[in-house]
Structure 1
Amino acid sequence: MRSAIILKYFPDLSDTQKKQFEMLFDLYSEWNEKINVISRKDIDNLYTNHVLHSLGIAKVEQFKPGAEILDVGTGGGFPGVPLAILFPEVSFHLVDSIGKKITVVKEVSTALGLQNVKAEQARAEQLKGEYDFIVS
């Protein structure tokens, strides 16, 4: 199980969350062959360098159900996608100015069954709305 390191730091994951985290490697590997989402030299370190790094904020801040989080410059979905898995009752708005990266985010989110992710091609300064937290 490639995602076992996630359980070391987040042992109380549901079966659904465990499955979603495990799916990340294949999804990002597949997309990385088409679009350079993660450095090709670094894809084998996906869980350590990208997923755990994305989840670091969860060790100091527990987002409350119903919170609205903005992920600015999400790229391929980091930190937003891993956080959306960890906090299924929280809404995440992931934005990036590069359309092909937002395509990846949308496809990965759909494949994972994430209902709490909205991905949009936009520049942060164009956004309107209020958020409880902004991550990047």
Structure 2
Amino acid sequence: MELIKKYFPDLLDQQINKLSLLKDLYAYWNSYVNIISRRKLYNFYQQHVLFCLGIAKVFSFFPGSCVMDLGTGGGFPGIPLSIIFPHTEFILVDSISKKINIVEKIIHNLQLKNAHAICIRAEKLEYRFDFVVSRYVAKIEKIHNWIKNKFRCKSNCKIKNGSLYIKGGDLSDELKKFPHAVEYPLRNYFQESFFITKKVIWISNI
């Protein structure tokens, strides 16, 4: 948790309290359903929370916007982001019901009023969003096909609607069909070696 305070020194006490509860909540629910690798629980705040909050280092969701977390799994990046952006609505989507059941419990435990979990395949969802976020779900081209008709037609702010992906490694082949994609290396924001190859990818929908 000290890592989070180090890189996000302006968090409110309420946000710090919610983020501080995360590891124990996930350790508890993980004993019932394996939603996080037990090995990664040891580095929970670095490999899960801070990694997801890399999005918040390069991008700010405006109040009133609606964001889909596609393939949320155990609630990442949607739950950490919903704590950081309390005035933005997050819809956490996954097709695996046992994972969504746990995510709903964690949302309830944290009393997150701006986060909602839905068990459905993303391409069948009838909602429209300002932004889509995703971590380690599939190749960007495949995700793009799932979400290309899921965006609101007009943006409510100066930032264009689009998608943000948290990924690692060499993405040159994956991004060939997206020449307008913008890469934000997380090593520019976080000093830990874990982030050397990690990136946030921004692709505008317009």
TM-score by length of 2: 0.64
Matched with 2:83 is 85
Secondary structure, in 3 states, of the residue corresponding to 1:75?
coil
Matched with 2:101 is 103
Query: Percent same amino acid at aligned positions?
Result: 51
Tell me how far apart the structure 2 counterparts of residues 69 and 40 of structure 1 sit (CA, whole Å): 28
Alignment: residue pair count: 134
Please state which structure has a larger fraction of its residues in helix.
Answer: 1
Secondary structure, in 3 states, of the residue corresponding to 2:34?
coil
Matched with 1:22 is 20
Secondary structure, in 3 states, of the residue corresponding to 1:34?
coil
Tell me how far apart the structure 2 counterparts of residues 126 and 64 of structure 1 sit (CA, whole Å): 26
Deviation digits for residues 28-58 of structure 1, max 9, x if unmatched? 0001111111101111111000001111111
Tell me how far apart the structure 2 counterparts of residues 79 and 45 of structure 1 sit (CA, whole Å): 16
Tell me how far apart the structure 2 counterparts of residues 39 and 81 of structure 1 sit (CA, whole Å): 17
Q: Which has the higher contact order (CA 8 A, sep 6+)?
A: 1
Matched with 1:75 is 73
Residues 1:46 and 2:63 are matched in the alignment = no
Q: How far is the alpha carbon of 1:128 from its aligned partner?
A: 1.3
One-letter amino acid of the structure 1 residue matched with residue 23 of structure 2: F
Q: How far is the alpha carbon of 1:126 from its aligned partner?
A: 0.3
Structure 2 unmatched runs, 5+: 135-206
Matched with 1:126 is 124
Matched with 1:10 is 8
Structure 1 unmatched runs, 5+: none
Tell me how far apart the structure 2 counterparts of residues 118 and 112 of structure 1 sit (CA, whole Å): 12
TM-score by length of 1: 0.96
One-letter amino acid of the structure 2 residue matched with residue 97 of structure 1: S
Tell me how far apart the structure 1 counterparts of residues 127 and 95 of structure 2 sit (CA, whole Å): 18
One-letter amino acid of the structure 1 residue matched with residue 17 of structure 2: K
Per mean C-alpha deviation after superposition, the further-off stretch among 80-89 and 37-46 is 37-46
Tell me how far apart the structure 2 counterparts of residues 54 and 104 of structure 1 sit (CA, whole Å): 19
Q: Considering only aligned residues, what root-mean-square deviation do their CA atoms show, in Å?
A: 0.6
Tell me how far apart the structure 2 counterparts of residues 135 and 98 of structure 1 sit (CA, whole Å): 18
